Chains A and B, each alone.
Chain A
Amino acid sequence: MAEARFTAPQRFVGEPVLRKEDQRLLTGQGRYIDDLDITTLHVAFVRSTVAAGRIVSIDATEARALPGVHAVYTAEDLCPGDMTRVPYSCGFMDSLEPEASFLAHDEVRYVGDPIAVVIADDRYIAEDGAELVEVDYDPIDAVVDHLEAERQRIVHPDLGTNVAYSAEPADMGELEEIFAAAPIVVEHIIDQQRHSISPMETRGMIVVPGQELTIHASIQNPQFLRAYIAKVFEIPETSIRVACGDVGGAFGMKFFLHRDELAVIAAARRFGRAIRWIEDRVENLSASHARREWGRARMALSAEGDILATHLDYRADCGAYPLLPPESNAMNVTLMFQGPYRIARSGVSACMTFTNTPPLVAYRGPWMFETLARESLIDAAAERLGVDPVAFRRRHVIGLAEQPFSYASGAVLTGVTPAEALDKALEKLGGIDAFREMQARARMDGRYIGLGTSVYVEPTSFAFVDFATEAADIRIDPTGRVEVTVTLSSQGHSIETTMAQIVADELGVELDNVVIRFGDTALIGWGIGASGSRQAVIGGGAVKRAAETVRGQVFEIAAHLLQTQPEMLSLRGGMIETRGDGGASVSLAEVARTAYFGTESLPEHINPGLQAHNRYRPAPITFSNAAHFCVCEVDIDTGLTRILRWIGVEDCGVMLNPAVVEGQIAGGVAQGISGVLFENAVYDEYGNPQAGTYKDYLLPLITDMPEIEFGHLCTPSDTPTGARGVGEGGAIVAPAAVVNAVADALTPFAVRSAILPLSPDRLLELISAASSAGVQPPQH
C-alpha cells in the first residue's frame, strides 16, 4: 500500500493534521498584498467604457491639475516608440498574438480595457483623477457572440482573422464515415456561460522601482512571472525580485499578469517611486473570464449500445487578449474528451475566437468542457438507448486492471481507477434501485428529484519544457530546526502544512520544528508555483527527495558520533538511535550542532552542514480521477434547484492530508455547482458587462451547498510521495453531475438541457415549453 513507499515511520503524512497557516489567518495577521506596510502612492485606472472603438483623443489636463494627483500616464508615456511589444500571453507557447500594449493606444477592445494610469496621494484622489480624464471614442461594432466571430469584423486587424486557433482531428474523414454508418447517433448541444473567476482577494501589486525592481503582488507564481516581466521589459531576471505574501485565492486568474499589471510596473519605473494598485471588485469581475464555450457533442453507437465513436465540435471565446494560450486549452480538451471510457475512436474539432470581451484566463480545470460535454452526452445517449446512465457508464468505464490503456488520441492512461471509483460511489449512494424507488415515490408527491453522474480522468502535474520541475531546499539549522524553501506557492493550498508533514516524517521531528517558506524569487530559483494540480506531486517530490538527502547527512554525522555505521541508525522523535535493544543515541540537535560548530571533529569524507537541494521532474503527466453523484430537487413552481446529496469518490493517490484533500475537492465542487446554477458574467449585445457587482454576479452561499460525502481510493502514483493532483478535480467533474441531475429530475417533462446556467427563469421556461408541447408530468 501507499505507506510502504515511505522509508521513514509515518506520523504525519496521511493524517488530517491541523493547518500551520491558520493561527495568523484567524487572528488578522495574514499579510495580503494591501496589508504590506510599504509607503506608496496609489493607482487608479482609466478604463474603456465601450467594447470597441477607436480612441480619438485622451485629455488628462484637468486630472493632472487636481491637487494630490502626481501623474497621469497613457500608452504614449509608458511605451514610447514601440506600442506593440507586449508578448501578452506570457509567451510560453507559440500563440497567435495580436499586437498589444500595456494600455490601449489606438483602439479599445473591451469594456475595462486599460487606457490610463493615475497616480495620486490616495486611492480616493486617484479615482477622482481618473474620472477627470476625458476619452473621446469613435465607437465601432463590437464582436460579442463568439459563435458569430468568424463572420464578423476583425478584432485585431493585424492578424486578419478572428480565429486564434483551430484544429481538426487527423482522422476526421474516417470519424465521419463511422457516424454516417452508425445505426444510432446521439447529438447533444452544450453552451456554457461566461464565468468570472472571482477570488475573494482581488488582484493587486506594489512596485518599488530602483536598482532592483521589487514587485509584491497577489499572484500564483513569482518565479514564472519574474521571467515574464524580464522578457517584457528587457531587463535581466537577476535585477528583479517578485514576491507574494498571503494570497486570497487565485484559481488560475492570478497565474498570468494582465496588461494592467504590466502598466503598473511600467508606470512605477517611469515615475521612479513606489506605487500601489489594488483592484476593486467591479474591475475584478470584468478583468478576465473563462468557460464561455460551446460544443456539439456526438456519439455513434451500435445497435447493441457499443460506443463506436465520439466527436466534439468545440468553440471557445478567447476575449480580446487571451492570457490562457488558446491552443493549450484546445489541446487539453482534445486530449481528455474520451474520458475514462472504452471508445474506439474519439476526436475534437476546435475553434477559438477573439471577441471584444475581456481576456480568457485560466480557471480551475480550464479544459473542464471535455467532461461537461462528454458526461452530459453520455446521459443523453443512455436516454436514447433506454438504459440507466449509471449502468451505461459501468458497461464502458475503464478499470485499473485494463491499464496501461491507450487512448484513441495516443495518450496512455495508467494507474487510474474510474470503474472502481464509480462502484464505490454507487455503494455510498445505496444503489441505483433504491434511488429510483425513492425518486418515483417523490414524483407521486409532486417532488422532482434527480440523480446526476459524472466520471472523469484528469491529467495533473504537467511536467514538460518550462513546466518540467519544481525544487526544494532543506536545511537543518544548528539548533535542529528545519527550514524548507520551495518553488511552490499558496492561495489556500495548505502547503505550509502538507510539505511540513512530508519533512517531519522524513526527519523524525515535530511539525512545529519545520518551517516552510515560499513565494519570493529571492529565496529560490525557477518554478511554476500553483498551476495544474502540481504542487503535492512535483513540489512534494522535490521536498521528499531533498529531505531524504538531509536524512542521509544526519546519519553520516550521527554514525560518526555514535561510532557505528549509518545503515545501523534510525531517526524518530528528534533522536538518532542505533537499532536493537539498548542502543546508543544522539539528539538531532547535537548532530546539527556538530554539523556546523564541531566540524573540526568530523572526518574528511563528511561534508559540514545539513542542507540539500532537489529539483524533481516526474513523468510528463500524473493522472487522477473521480466519480461524483449529485442528487438534486427542482421546484417546478419556482425553477429553483436544490442540491440534496453530493457523493464524491476520487483517487488522488497517497493523501498527504485527507482534510486538505477534501477541502480542495469541496471548493471545486462548489465552483462547479454554482457554475451550473448561479454564476453568469453576462454581456449585452454591445459588449457591456451586465454583472458588475456581487448583487448581479451570484456566488454560492453556505445554504446552497450540500455536505459532501467523500470516498477515497488511494492508488499511489509513481512519484516520491505517491500523490496525484487534486486541486482542480472538483471543478472539472461537478458541473456535468448537476446538469445530469437536473435533467433526470425533469424526466417527466422531457427537459434535458446543457444550455447554462440552469437558472430558475430558464428552467421555468423549459418546463413551461415542455408542458405547452403536451409533455405532462404524471398526475398526483
Chain B
Amino acid sequence: MSSHPISFTLNGAATALEVEPRWTLLDVLRRQCGTTGVHAGCEHGVCGACTIIVDDVAVRACLMLAPQADGCEIRTVESVAEPDGTLHRVQRAMREEFSLQCGFCTPGVVMTLVQMDEAGADEDAVVEALTGHLCRCTGYQGMKRVARRLGQATGAEDRQDG
C-alpha cells in the first residue's frame, strides 16, 4: 500500500502523519493519534458513536477516509472538557440528566450536542440531531431532558456560565 503524508489540526494541535489511502479517519484517530474516545460502533455511518467535529460540522469519522481530513480542523470528545477535567455544559447536562449508561455511544452524542449548542439550536433541532445516534441502554430518556435543557438555555444565562 502506498502511504500519503497528511496534516490536520487535532484538538488544537498540529498533527502530521503518513496514512494509507484506504484508512478511515476513524481508524487513524484511534490507532495513530490515540484519541480513542472516538468509538467504532457500526463503521457504516448509522450509529453515530464516532461523531467528531470537522471544520465546525459534526460528521461520522467512519465515513471519511483519512486523506480527506488533510488540512482540516478536527475536534474529538477529548477536547470538550477543560484540561482540569471541568465538564463542558453539555457534558454536565448529560451527567445531571442520567443520559448515559454504558457510555459507548456517549462521545458521539457529546460532539453532536457541542455543535448544536454552538449553533444555538432549539429543543426540536437538538432532538432532530440526536436521531443520528443509536443508544441501546437508556431509551433516550436522559437525552430528551438534555435536549430540552439545552433548547431552553438558547440565548439564556446557562449558555454563558459554562
Residues of A within 8 A of B (CB): 16, 18-19, 21-30, 32, 34-35, 122-124, 198-201, 246-249, 251, 278, 280-281, 490-494, 659-660, 662-663, 666-671, 693-695, 699-703, 705, 707-708, 730
Residues of A within 8 A of B121 (CB): none
Complex CA distance for A278 and B42, rounded to whole angstroms: 12
Contacts of A662 in B (CB 8 A): 98, 141
Residue B8 lies at the interface, judged by CB distance under 8 Å to chain A: no
B25 contacts across to A, CB distance below 8 A: none
With A21-B103, A200-B104 known to touch, is A694 a contact of B134 (CB < 8 Å)?
yes
With known contacts A28-B37, A28-B77, A699-B136, A248–B42 Cβ distance under 8 A: no
State the Cβ distance, A54 to closest chain B Cβ, in Å.
33
Instruction: Tell me the complex Cα distance, A669–B136, Å.
Output: 11
Inter-chain CA distance A778–B46, complex, in Å, is: 42
With A200-B102, A707-B144 known as contacts, the answer to whether A693 contacts B44 (CB < 8 A) is yes
Residues of the A chain whose Cβ atoms lie less than 8 Å from the Cβ of B105: 200, 248
B77 A249 Cβ-Cβ under 8 A: no
* A29 pairs with B37, CB closer than 8 A: yes
B100 x A27 contact (CB < 8 A):
no
In the bound complex, do residue B35 and residue A28 qualify as a contact, i.e. CB atoms below 8 Å apart?
Answer: yes
Q: Are B103 and A30 touching (Cβ within 8 A)?
A: yes
- How near does chain B come to A358, taking the closest CB pair, in angstroms? 18
Name the residue among B96, B104, B130, B134 with the largest chain A CB count within 10 angstroms.
Answer: B104
**Do B106 and A34 touch (CB < 8 A)?**
no
Q: Are A281 and B41 also in contact (CB < 8 A) when A25-B100, A251-B136 are?
A: yes
B95 within 8 A of A: yes
The one of B94, B102, B131, B137 that contacts A26, using a Cβ cutoff of 8 Å: B94
Known A34-B40, A249-B136, A702-B130: A663·B142 in contact at CB below 8 Å: yes
Interface string of B33-48 (1 = CB under 8 A from A): 0011111111110110
- Interface residue? B101 (CB, 8 A): yes
* A491 touches which of B102, B107, B139 (Cβ 8 Å): B102
Question: B16-38 CB contact bits vs A (8 Å, 1 = yes)?
Answer: 00001011000100110001111
Which of A26, A35, A490, A669 has the largest count of B CB atoms less than 10 A from its CB?
A26
Complex contact B41–A201 (CB within 8 A): yes
Besides A491-B102, A700-B139, 14 new A-B residue pairs in contact (Cβ under 8 A), listed by A number: A16-B98, A23-B87, A25-B106, A28-B36, A30-B103, A124-B20, A246-B104, A248-B104, A281-B42, A660-B98, A670-B138, A693-B46, A701-B131, A701-B134
Checking B35, B104, B130, B147 against A32 with a beta-carbon cut-off of 8 angstroms, the contacting residue is B104
Distance A491 CA – B136 CA, assembled complex (angstroms): 11
Check if B98 sits within 8 Å of A200, measured CB to CB. Answer: no
Assess whether A23 is in contact with B85, with CB atoms less than 8 Å apart.
yes
Tell me the smallest distance from the CB of B2 to a CB of chain A, in Å.
13
Interfacial chain B residues near A659, Cβ < 8 Å: 98
Given contacts A28-B37, A124-B22, A199-B136, contact A705 B102 (CB under 8 A): no
Report how far A730 CA is from B138 CA in the complex, Å. Answer: 11
A33 to chain B: closest CB distance in Å?
11
Q: Which of B124-139 contact A (CB under 8 A)?
A: 127-128, 130-131, 133-139
Do B144 and A702 touch (CB < 8 A)? yes
A247–B110 Cα distance when bound, in Å, is: 19
Q: In the complex, which residues of chain A have a beta carbon less than 8 angstroms from the beta carbon of B130?
A: 701-702
A sample of 7 cross-chain residue pairs with beta-carbon separation below 8 angstroms, ordered by A number, consists of A23-B85, A32-B36, A694-B134, A702-B131, A702-B135, A707-B144, A708-B141
A671 to B137, CA, bound (A): 9
Q: A30 contacts which chain B residues (CB < 8 A)?
A: 37, 103-104, 106
Q: Hey, which chain A residues are within 8 Å of B141, CB to CB?
A: 662-663, 666, 705, 707-708
B residues less than 8 Å from A667 (CB atoms):
101, 136-139
B79 to chain A, nearest CB (A): 9
State whether A200 touches B76 (Cβ < 8 A).
Answer: no
> Is the beta-carbon distance between A248 and B103 smaller than 8 angstroms?
yes
B98 touches A26 (CB 8 A): no
CA gap between A399 and B46 in the complex, in Å: 46
Least CB distance, B106 to chain A, in whole angstroms? 5
Measured CB to CB, the residues of B under 8 A from A are 20, 22-23, 27, 30-31, 35-44, 46-47, 49, 76-78, 80-81, 85, 87, 91, 94-96, 98, 100-107, 110, 127-128, 130-131, 133-144, 147
Bound CA–CA A22/B81 (angstroms) = 12
In the complex, chain A residues whose CB is within 8 Å of the CB of B39: 32, 200-201, 248
B90 to A: closest C-beta gap in Å: 9
Chain B residues in 8 Å Cβ range of A702:
127, 130-131, 133, 135, 140, 143-144, 147
Pair A694/B139 contact, Cβ less than 8 Å: no
Which of B30, B43, B80, B94 is in CB contact (< 8 Å) with A280? Answer: B43
Contacts of A281 in B (CB 8 A): 41-44, 47
CB neighbours (8 Å) of B78 from chain A are 27-29
Among A34, A246, A666, A730, max chain B CB count under 10 A is at A666
CB of B41, distance to nearest CB on chain A (Å): 5
Give the one of B47, B85, B128, B141 with max A CB within 10 A.
Answer: B141
Residues of A within 8 A of B80 (CB): 27
**B134: nearest chain-A partner, CB-CB:** A699
Complex Cα gap A694–B127 (Å): 20
Asked if B102 and A22 sit within 8 Å, CB to CB, the answer is no
Chain A: minimal CB distance from B89 (Å): 12
A199 near B91 with CB under 8 A, answer no
Which 10 interchain pairs have the tightest Cβ spacing? A28-B37, A248-B104, A25-B103, A492-B101, A492-B102, A670-B139, A666-B139, A694-B46, A28-B77, A35-B36
Give Cα distance in the complex from A15 to B48, angstroms: 32
What is the bound-complex CA distance between A694 and B62, given in angstroms? 14
Query: A246 touching B37 by the CB < 8 A rule?
Result: no
Query: Once the chains are docked, how many angstroms separate the CA of A491 from the CA of B100?
Result: 11
Chain A residues positioned under 8 Å from B96 (CB to CB): 18
- Is the Cβ of A246 less than 8 Å from the Cβ of B131? no
Shortest distance from the beta carbon of A352 to any chain B beta carbon, whole Å: 26
A663 touches B87 (CB 8 A): no
Would B98 and A705 count as touching, CB distance under 8 A? no
Contact B49–A200 (Cβ < 8 Å): yes
A659 to B141, CA, bound (A): 11
Contacts of B44 in A (CB 8 A): 281, 693-695
**CB of B85, distance to nearest CB on chain A (Å):** 7
Known contacts A28-B36, A201-B39, A694-B44; decide if A669 and B139 are in contact (CB<8 Å): yes
- Do A200 and B135 touch (CB < 8 A)? yes
Chain A hits for B41, CB < 8 A: 200-201, 281
Q: Is the CB of A200 within 8 A of B87?
A: no
Which of B43, B85, B136 gathers the greatest number of chain A CB atoms within 10 Å? B136
In the complex where A693-B44, A707-B141 touch, is A663 in contact with B102 (Cβ < 8 A)? no
Determine the chain B residues whose CB is within 8 A of the CB of A123 once the complex forms. Answer: 27
A663 to B139, CA, bound (A): 8
Q: Nearest Cβ distance between residue A21 and chain B, in whole angstroms?
A: 7
Q: Which residues of B contact A705 (CB under 8 A)?
A: 139-141, 144
Q: Are A708 and B136 in contact (CB under 8 A)?
A: no
Q: Is A492 a contact partner of B20 (Cβ separation < 8 A)?
A: no
CB-CB under 8 A from B100, the residues of chain A are: 19, 22, 25-26, 492
Q: Give, as a whole number of angstroms, the nearest-CB distance from B49 to chain A.
A: 6
- Contact A26 B106, CB 8 Å, known A200-B135, A663-B101, A701-B134: yes
Contact status B37-A27, CB under 8 Å: yes
Considering the complex, give the chain B residue whose CB is closest to the CB of A36: B36
Q: Return the contact of A198 from the options B85, B136, B140 (Cβ within 8 A).
A: B136
Bound CA span A542–B114, Å: 41
- A695 to B134: give the CA distance in the assembly, Å: 12
CB distance from B25 to the nearest CB of A (A): 14
| Contact between B127 and A703, CB atoms less than 8 A apart | yes
A494 to B95, CA, bound (A): 12
Given A27-B37, A702-B143; A246-B103 close (CB under 8 Å):
yes
Q: Which residue of A lies closest to B42 (CB)?
A: A281
In the bound assembly, the distance between CA atoms of A122 and B24 in angstroms comes to: 13
Contact B138 A663 (CB under 8 A): yes
| B38: A residues at CB distance < 8 A | 28
Chain B residues with CB under 8 A of A708? 139, 141
